[in-house]
Amino acid sequence: MPLTGSIPLVLVSGFLGSGKTTFLNNLFNNFPGRRFGIIVNDFGALGVDAAAIKGTAGSIVTELNNGQIFCSCLAGSFIDSVSAYSDRDIDYLLVETSGLAKPSPLIDIIDGIKRLSSDRFSYYGMISLVDGSTYLKLSEVLKAVDEQIAYSDIVLINKTDLTDARTLKEAEMKILTVNPGANIIRTEYGRMPSEYFLGMQEKETVPGPDRMFSGWGRQGRPVPVILKSDKPVRYADLESFIENPGGDYFRIKGWVTTDQGPAFADCTVSGGSLVLSDFDVRAEEGLVVILPADNGVVEAVKSAAAVIFNTVE
């Protein structure tokens, strides 16, 4: 890519835990000589995902937390963050959206970016990642899951090694009903052949809002809960909480100091892990728990967490 002219802008969407960060790190490994601007949007108040971005030499990472970039609460900040890269020496600007992104206002967002940056950026489209093992279930309860697919150009069905053939086929058929023009790729560990990325081109048109995606779905807007402790927690207690937090959840992620050392939790509806791991210096300590909009579940999880953590927000 030349260093003058417009900068390709590519959005990377996908529900919580679908593998967006892993996908991006694989992409960086494939293009070590490219300079990337990277904007990472976390739905919770802790910037967990940004700390896991490796980037390439010369990459610049910006965080936008506590909301999703297509919502009025962050849209302005997102447009400003994109425009701030206008005079940067980068080849691509990548945006990792929140797992709960609702991109129906995409056309207004792109228009705002073009106006504020004097057409410095060209929209090259959206790549969406789908967890093949959970997509069918999640798409029934949260409109954001299919909304992301509807506005994407490439859909990666990820974690195919954990998904049976019948479920994968049903997932593909459902994706094509949502977005008949989607380029669907089956993959593992968030890998995508380089030619698909290099083959992305400036979009002549950007899709507008679709009323069918209005609202969040029957479960409502998911609820982020932040858990922190000002002293080490027992590893066994933390492990027990993650295995049974008191109710269903969409995501548990973050670093916590334990009596055995720093531990990193990374869990989704399909499972997860708790491992001893050094803190990333860019990370803020604490856990983000994304819960269904059910007062009973939220209070039950907060109650279980309060036994271990000093701060439950």
Residue ranges and CATH numbers for the domains of the chain are: 7-213 (3.40.50.300), 223-312 (3.30.1220.10)
Q: Which residue has the higher pLDDT, 284 or 26?
A: 26
Helical spans, DSSP H, in 156-279: 165-178, 194-198, 235-243
Residue 230 has pLDDT above 70, yes or no: yes
The 3-state DSSP class for residue 176 equals helix
pLDDT digits (tens, 9 = 90+) for 47-95: 667 667 777 777 888 888 888 999 988 899 999 999 999 999 999 999 9
Q: Cα–Cα–Cα angle for 60, 92, 120, nearest 5°?
A: 100
Half-sphere exposure of 151 (CA within 13 A, CB side): 29
User: Is the pTM of the predicted complex or chain greater than 0.85?
Assistant: yes
pLDDT digits (tens, 9 = 90+) for 280-291: 766 789 999 999
* Total count of residues recorded for the chain: 313
